[in-house]
Amino acid sequence: MVRSPGPALGQLRDAGFRAVAVTSFWEPGQTAPPPEEIAVLRDVAARAEGLRVFVVVYHRGSETTPLTAEARAQFAAHVAAIVREVPALRDVVVGNEPNLNRFWLPQFGPNGEDVAAPAYLALLGEAYDAAKKAASDVTVWGGALAPRGIDRPGTGRDTHSPTTFLRDLGAAFRASGREKPPLDGFAFHPYPASSQIPPDRPTDPAATSILLADYEEKLRPLLDEAFGPGLPVLYAELGVETAIPAGKAAAYEGKEVARPVDEATQADFYRRAIQLAACQKDVAGLLLFHSHDEPVLAGFQSGVYYVDGTPKASLESVRQAISGAGASC
């Protein structure tokens, strides 16, 4: 369930951000968000002057993957209810990393075939139709794929690479009989394997993973093959974790398990990512994940604000990068 934005939206504007993403979790049996969540979404929309609001709708994990016709209908009704009840919200992202077993199971069929891509396309199609029926001007973003996967069943971590998943999505679309793709844009999460890796470093051309710098050589051709040319791309998540200084440690819980960077490196990496995305044709935007740190260190401390709402040293550099995005393309 989404939470009240409090002062966060004002801080986003202060940081120069032009968009914000909020999450709405679908639960089995649910055909609409509860009334209190609708109230929060309306509050976000009312306070979001100058910010484009993206609502990301997905289930919490693979145990609740909406695989049946009934579950897909419920999920689609949930999406439609948001579009109908909060008219100011006109961007919906359907699903979250369906190429990973963390969020979608099964990934493979009994003969090793990809069953996740066609099942996700079926969900996306129902959600798209329901959202458009509720409001024809809504923009539905599909995909939200993770940037890597191993494409091998039976390893204990059943995942698909975005390269394989996109090809299989295209095949499922062509087999569906639909005249037009059931999405207005494609969402993607171009995380490097570590926060210590620059976000504008390309992968090996032979690799099936896809990162921010692989747009022209990998992502764009795969999208054009799957759904036709010109589909807009939204980089819906990209984050660079920072180490928490001793003076802020009391605001956080637990123990860090990743390899964070210092705030100067975060600023540099975000600047490079913003500039690269701004210069890529048909890319609609880049959403940084998060704006504010998560309080538990096992989570993601990738914000330009600490968990207590005070700014990091990277904030001003990010603000300048956003302001000048695309100027040197």
List, for residues 106-125, the tens digit of each pLDDT value.
999 999 999 999 999 999 99
CA–CA separation, 99 and 160 (whole Å): 5
Q: If you compute the radius of gyration of the chain from its CA atoms, what whole number of angstroms results? A: 19
What is the pLDDT of the chain when averaged over all its residues? 96
Give the CA angle between residues 80, 142, 152 to the nearest 5°: 130
Please provide the DSSP assignment of 249-316 as one string. GGG-BS---S--B-HHHHHHHHHHHHHHHHTSTTEEEEEES-SB--SBTTS----SB-TTSPBPTTHH
List, for residues 300-311, the tens digit of each pLDDT value.
999 999 999 999
- pLDDT of 1 above 50: no
Query: Stretch 41-68: mean pLDDT, rounded?
Result: 96
pLDDT band at residue 170, thresholds of 50, 70 and 90?
Answer: very high
Percent of the chain with pLDDT over 70: 98
- pLDDT of 2 above 80: no
Whole-model pTM: value is: 0.96
Given this model, what pLDDT does residue 328 score? 83
CA–CA separation, 101 and 316 (whole Å): 37
Given this model, what pLDDT does residue 7 score? 77
- pLDDT of 6 above 70: no
Closest CA to 269 of 235, 248, 294, 241: 241
**Burial classification of residue 27, based on how many CB atoms lie within 10 Å of its CB (0-12 exposed, 13-18 middle, 19 or more buried):** middle
pLDDT band at residue 4, thresholds of 50, 70 and 90?
Answer: low
List, for residues 74-99, the tens digit of each pLDDT value.
999 999 999 999 999 999 999 999 99
DSSP class of residue 216 equals I
pLDDT band at residue 148, thresholds of 50, 70 and 90?
Answer: very high
Query: Coil, strand, or helix at residue 55?
Result: strand
Q: What are the beta bridge partners of residue 140?
A: 92
List, for residues 132-147, the tens digit of each pLDDT value.
999 999 999 999 999 9
List, for residues 258-311, the tens digit of each pLDDT value.
999 999 999 999 999 999 999 999 999 999 999 999 999 999 999 999 999 999
